[in-house]
Chains A and B, each alone.
Chain A
Amino acid sequence: MTHAAWVMPALPLAGFVVLFFVGRRLGDPLAGWVGTAAITGSFVAALVTMAGLLSHPAGPAREINQSIYTWISAGGLHVKASLLIDPLSLTMALFVTGVSAVIHLYSIGYMKKDRDYSKFFVYMNLFVFFMLLLVLGGNLIVTFVGWEGVGLCSYFLISFWFERPSAASAGKKAFIYNRIGDAGFLLAMFIIFEKTGTLSYTGIFSRTGALSGSAGVAAILLLFLAATGKSAQIPLFPWLADAMEGPTPVSALIHAATMVTAGVYLMVRMHPVLALSHDAQLVVASIGVATAFVGGTIACTLHDIKKVVAFSTISQLGYMVLAVGVGAYEAAIFLMVAHAFYKGLLFLGSGSVIHGRHDEQDLMKMGGLAKFMPITTITFVVGWLAIAGVPPLSGFWAKGAVLDSTFVRYPVLWVVGIVTALFTAYYMTRLFVLAFTGNPRFHAAIDTRSGGAHATVEALSGSGSGAGAGEADHGEGRLSGTAAGDISGYDIDVGVAHGGSGGGAPVHESPPVMTIPLVILAVLAFAGGVLDLPWGGPDRWNALSWLGPVFGHYLYNPHLSMAGQWLLGIVDAGVGLAGIAIAWNLWSRAWKRPELEPAFLASYWHFNDIYDTLIGRPGARLASFAYSVVELHWIDGVVNGVGSLMKRTGSGVRRVQTGYVRQYAVGMALGILALLVWVLVRA
């Protein structure tokens, strides 16, 4: 059953092609259903493949290299489109397709009435295709194609509402940060090909000897640079916060559950090379835990609900990278999967909140939403407790697995990790309290809405349409509404009119097509821990233990006693509960606490400013120097020189093209003469 593995990427590709050509005709919501069906089919294909894989005995037999075809075969370079199906890649494929299917379903509701409804699903299906290429690729080139492809789709989807200047520039920011990482990926590929003569994973792993020494360290650190770009680690993390300009399903799918984990996956995939150098492992672990800490602290101070969740993602990715550095690859994947569940849930929940609050993302203007949005609230609670590390939810087990190994291998990093866990519980509790409990803080906003909202709308669309009609291009799409409040079709839910002076509830629960995915993810986030419970010894059966043979002796084993595990688990749970208690105490009493939101943290540890000062401004100065002096005087001279030389040559040669046959004939005759002389003289 594994030979049909190619169906997994093929179905999203087919969905992409169909939607690309006839998506507009299918329209809303049929295009969305087609896209969702393609991804669901892919998920089923992944399940079938897994069943096939499980029928093989554990060990090398579960590693299937499927060469689809050879694209180029030139010299020593054979570029093959090949898939590597093993428990690792298949686990990734399963959760990628599964979470994608759920989020596609959610998007059917979320993107309703968007002007580019079908285009959204075109990009989403293309994204899943590239993500599966990345995950299933049997060599670095296929992975790289997927890597670039998801970056491209991420760019398209972040700037999906490109009329908004902030969205357009956020897309560019994400793209540029990722390009820095991609350069690392390319260089690493060059080094690996130079040293081992192959780019296929199995080939590289069988020749790791050629990579010992500085070349291997350079290769793995360059790959790690690529990973820091894709997985938003220090120093390349700031783009992820801006990426929240995209529609919320995009944030949930690409910027929480799947694409941003690609960096972690790449490091896990290349673990035999990483294992060559303990220094490199320490670098990876340190960067990971530092990112976890920095992201966690920033998340404590922000007001934008999506940005809080975004920095929480950065922080959680830091944990995964930490696990990779420690050598706890299985734990990294476990956390990745669990995180996909609860972070996808938190994002979709935030999306539901934003949707219900009519595109309000400011926590300060929420409060008391629990009354209005019961399903969203209940599911959000599950996500919140899961990420906070409350047993027995999935986050507790997943984070615990990472921290246990860290405790033994790098105790210092464990301290940072456990402090970050406190922050994690704190910021997510703060978010929950601010959004869902207390008194609603949005009446004031409502009052100004008929006038004020349209001011925002105008600012966003930039057309300054003045009185009456404005083009709102946010949230659920571009709607033409009038100030009078006749916004038919704005609300998907039962006729809860929004805005205007007409009244009605300011908040509404989202439609079933959005809440069902929430429920699914909530169940998974709650019970996801069963995937990898720490009991049962080495031959324990649980879902993720089938990953073990992939890593073999590379897997770090902390050798913790049962008592030690219990102790650490209690510490984890205690820290999580402490964080919740602190935050609940502080934020349920007063929602305005600027003293707890230091500007240093709220401005992302000044990372943006530092980049601006160190790179941006010197870059701009360098650019202006380059432009005014180098470009205008030197390069232009050369380029224009070459260009005009080309053009002059062209024009000159073109002048030979007189149109007169006699002159053509003479030209040919001269050519014959020259050739004759050339050949005869040489002979």
Chain B
Amino acid sequence: MIGATGITVPALNYVAVMPEIALIAGALWIMLATAMSPRRIGSGASLFWTVAAGCVSLGFSVWQWEGVTPHGAYASFDGAVVVDGLSAFVAMTVSLTVIVAALIEEGWMRRRGQSAPEMHMLTLLSAAGAILMGAGNDLVVIFLALEIMSIGFYVLAAYDRRRLASGEAALKYLILGGFSSAVFLFGIALTYGATGSMNLAEIAKYLASNVLLHDGLLLGGMVLMLVGLAFKVAAVPFHFWAPDVYQGSPTPAAGYMAAVAKIAGFAAIIRIFVSTLQPYRADWQPAVWVVAVATLLVGGVVALVQTDIKRMLAYSSINHAGFVLLGVAAATTAGLSASLYYVLVYSFMVMGSFAVVSLVGGPADTAHSLEDYRGLYRRSPWLAWALALMLISQAGVPLTTGFIGKLEVISAAAAAHLVWLAVVAMMSAAVAAFFYLRVVMLMFSPSYGPPAGAAGAVDSGSMVAGGEGVPEPGSVAEGGEGVPGPVGVSSGGGVATASLHGEEGIVGGGGDASGYDAVAGEPAGERIPVPLSTAVALALCSGFTVFFGLFPGFLTAMVHVVTTAIPIH
């Protein structure tokens, strides 16, 4: 802290940031090991260290939780970092996410015959940022944490460097992310101007004891900070990056980013808006309503017309962000509990979904057309079941976590007299059910293509145009790849797949004509190999989704503990 008498070093309580330290240490260790060992360390080793770091971080965060829940929160680093229920919740959730993401990344790399130390490292570093974001009690720390997290994401998005779309995604993410960071920073500056502090506790104290005569500065700051965080959680109209980035990024990274950015972003929103800017609730709440409604509607409706599963999942994640915002908009204990619950269970649903997508996409990570999912059940029944579970949970079908999440959010909104918002959310859930179930239906429908499949496949030139409708910039790059996709997919894929895989489509289509057997309906395609680590990740996600859908009590009690500690007037 810079004072008149010079620099005084505040008390540093490293216990407060042990989860972050564990993750960063893991990342550094992997980096060192990779650099120092004569050969690149095996991917198994880097997976081991990543999971180990995640587990240690999880252990520390559970320990923090155990300390905080009976004894209350404490701040450290001169009040810049706080350890409370929310921070421990974020740390636990992110640590779990890291473990699952590492397993999925490993499987993805394994199928490509590569090893993934850098990917794991970036995962760990960005996770450390995310956890810090949940613990930040000072706007500067939150900004710093947001940047640590985001920079990791940018590089993760670009990780698949041989694929143009990956670089394109990273560049878009970087530029727009920079833009949003600038906006966020400007918001911090305005808030500092209005309140004279960047420490959230100080700001809260100031606002509690003073009435601002001219609050324009603070209102402006509030809006800009909201925008900066809304960008991270992909809320409309700051969502433009999400579909392009999710589509272009390596698939496991997309799932991980979707999960972690939301956890950290919503934690920061709750901390800044609900607990600190409580006196100005009447001013920021309407802004959140508007953003929530727009997010629910755009996410739901635009997902309907997607033909690429990663884009569809991107819009679905926008839609989910709308639901979480709904709970925040309610700004009641029940609403916040519902939001936190939603974010937590969503992390597992989205990572499980992307885990399946990362396998179906093939080693080249390009077979992401919805048509690639036709007849998946015949080829890989377990993958189809897993994805179906993830999707019906996202659609909010009872006995899954997704149902409980939607139910709690909507009932909290209704209880907070946001009936119209609740109605919009329910309608949006109905719309969303359509595009989730469409994929489920495709997976379980027989795997024969359109009748003209064989004949059309010969004329593969015309099908490139006919396949996807208007190819978006992101997918053009994919189409041009010419990476040999799995032949088996083509037989199921029909038109769209053929357009993606060029010549492979002809082979597959030709096989179709003879291989298609209406009576037996046997799979004409190959079974998709499932690496062990991905299988473990899928089992974790599925188990979580079903178990906590059946027994939600534990999680709801946990988030309730978090939110009752947040002062809400």
Contact = CB atoms under 8 A, between A and B. Distances in A.
Given A672-B223, A679-B287, A75 B237 contact: no
Nearest to B412: A74
Interface string B211-241: 0000110011011101100010000111011
B179 interface: yes
16 contacts: A71-B550, A72-B552, A463-B519, A646-B431, A650-B302, A657-B240, A657-B243, A657-B244, A659-B473, A659-B474, A661-B172, A661-B175, A665-B175, A670-B237, A679-B222, A679-B284
Interface in A233-276: none
Nearest to B556: A73
A69 B179 CA distance: 48
A653 interface: yes
A163 to B, nearest CB: 11
A250 to B, nearest CB: 25
Contact of A682 (B216, B237, B286, B304): B286
Nearest to B186: A672
A635 interface: no
Interface in B201-216: 215-216
B215 A683 contact: yes
A667 B240 contact: yes
A678 B288 CA distance: 11
A79 to B, nearest CB: 10
A653 B298 contact: yes
Contacts of A660: 473
A647 B237 contact: no
B305 interface: yes
B290 interface: yes
Interface stretch (B343-351, B403-411, B509-517, B537-545): B403-411
A664 B301 CA distance: 19
Contacts of A613: none
Give the top 7 A-B pairs by smallest Cβ distance, nearest first. A659-B473, A671-B237, A664-B240, A650-B305, A74-B411, A650-B302, A650-B301
Interface residues of B, number: 51
B176 interface: yes
Contacts of B240: 656-657, 664, 667-668
Given A657-B240, A667-B240, A668-B237, 15 more contacts: A71-B550, A75-B415, A646-B304, A647-B304, A653-B301, A657-B244, A661-B171, A661-B176, A665-B179, A668-B179, A675-B287, A678-B290, A679-B223, A679-B283, A682-B286
B553 interface: yes
B293 interface: no
B305 A671 contact: no
B183 A672 contact: yes
Interface residues of A, number: 36
B295 to A, nearest CB: 11
A658 interface: yes
A494 interface: no
B74 interface: no
A463, A657, A665, A678 — which one has the most chain B CB atoms within 10 A of its CB?
A657
Nearest to B172: A661
Contacts of B241: 664
Interface in A638-683: 646-647, 649-651, 653-654, 656-661, 664-665, 667-668, 670-672, 674-676, 678-680, 682-683
Given A668-B240, A679-B283, A682-B283, A646 B226 contact: no
B6 to A, nearest CB: 40
Interface of A: 69-75, 463, 646-647, 649-651, 653-654, 656-661, 664-665, 667-668, 670-672, 674-676, 678-680, 682-683
Nearest to B176: A664
B402 to A, nearest CB: 13
A683 B279 CA distance: 13
Contacts of B474: 659
A654 B305 contact: yes
Contacts of B550: 71
B291 A675 contact: yes
Contacts of B220: 676, 680
Contacts of A667: 237, 240
A647 B305 contact: yes
Contacts of B472: 657, 659
Given A659-B474, A661-B172, A671-B238, A649 B301 contact: yes
A674 B287 CA distance: 10
Contacts of B290: 675, 678
B134 to A, nearest CB: 24
Nearest to A647: B305
A679 B219 contact: yes
Nearest to B408: A74
Contacts of B172: 661, 664
Interface in B146-199: 171-172, 175-176, 179-180, 183
A81 B272 CA distance: 38
B475 to A, nearest CB: 9
A675 B431 contact: no
Contacts of A675: 223, 226-227, 287, 290-291
